[in-house]
Amino acid sequence: MGSLPEVDDLRLVTAVARLGSVGAAARELLISQPSASQRLAALERRVGERLFDRDPTGARPTSAGREMADRAAHILHHLAALVDQTRAAARERPLTVGTFSSFAPLLFPALDMPVTQVTDHGDRMIGWVAEGSLDAVVVAIADQVTLPPGVVATPIGRDSHAMLFPAGVAGPGRGRRPYRDRVVIVYTIDMSSPVLRDRLTALGAEPRHAATAETAVRMARSLRVPALMPRCLARMYADPADLVATAPIRNTLRLALVTLGPPPDAVHPATLAARLGLVR
């Protein structure tokens, strides 16, 4: 491999052939004329052929020099294309975006670009962002956990909880305990489950936990009871005959885009909030 010309050799040969002078080529390449002459002489010794006829009027390529200059120009063109194509491939690589499973049917269709989709627990995915194996994650717990160093949470928007009443299921009663002796299915996307259950209990309800939004809706329909869940997900899962009403509990959900450093330009929080039905 040591006998092969270097990239700087190829640049010098093409410059001398094009400009007709070692001095002019040296000025273009920002090197001294003695350095250019020494490099050209070393290349000729390596090749075993004279590449240029040099005299006080300039440098003219020999047949060997013309051949090397043509091939060098071809190689340099491909080297430039290699760099450009490598950069383009890096830009075109789909982002790897994660979120929790219940939010995936809402989030991924809202992204107007191809992404590699990942679903898991929010705290675990934040760790993957920190280690660089995940480009971004959308979660509602960014302000409830300690983020690793270098990890940034960019707010997307806010949501509230709503009550989903399947078709034919009666609304709340009156008084201070409007859900007295009624089962209410509970699902949330942040870390407020204990608080929500306590507040429902204070309203007379018997709260039952659901592991996912879809599970909450299916349980509510099967048991013919209401479900407390994030409004954006209640709207997504509700049938036309279902009722999505204001919840008797105030609890703000804050969704954020968690990334390692600034968020990617391809993801616009304001646009994403509008598509997800969130409040900015």
How many distinct structural domains can be found in the chain? 3
59 plus 21 within the same structural domain: yes
Confidence of residue 90 (pLDDT cuts 50, 70, 90): low
Confidence of residue 92 (pLDDT cuts 50, 70, 90): low
Within 8 A by CB and 6+ apart from 17, the residues are 52, 61, 65, 66, 69
Give the mean model confidence (pLDDT) for residues 127-142: 94
Instruction: Give percent above pLDDT 90 in the chain.
Output: 80
Token match 């009027």: residue? 57
263 plus 220 within the same structural domain: no
Give the mean model confidence (pLDDT) for residues 219-246: 96
Q: Which residues pair with residue 205 across a beta bridge?
A: 182
pLDDT digits (tens, 9 = 90+) for 225-234: 999 999 999 9
Confidence of residue 189 (pLDDT cuts 50, 70, 90): very high
Please identify, among 91, 107, 123, the residue that sits at the C-terminal boundary of a domain: 91
pLDDT of 267 above 90? no
pLDDT of 86 above 90? no
pLDDT of 88 above 70? no
Confidence of residue 255 (pLDDT cuts 50, 70, 90): very high
For residue 233, tell me if it sits in a domain: yes
217 plus 189 within the same structural domain: yes
Domain of 181, in residue numbers? 161-251
36 plus 146 within the same structural domain: no
Alpha-carbon distance 256 to 140, whole Å? 6
62 plus 169 within the same structural domain: no
Confidence of residue 161 (pLDDT cuts 50, 70, 90): very high
**Which has the closest alpha carbon to 141: 101, 213, 191, 103?**
191
Residues 141 and 122: beta-carbon distance below 8 Å: yes
CA dihedral (270, 271, 274, 276) in degrees, to 10, reads -100
User: What pLDDT is stored for residue 1 in this prediction?
Assistant: 41
User: What pLDDT is stored for residue 148 in this prediction?
Assistant: 94
CATH of the domain at 215: 3.40.190.10
For residue 209, tell me if it sits in a domain: yes
CATH of the domain at 32: 1.10.10.10
121 plus 15 within the same structural domain: no
pLDDT of 3 above 90? no
Give the mean model confidence (pLDDT) for residues 143-170: 96
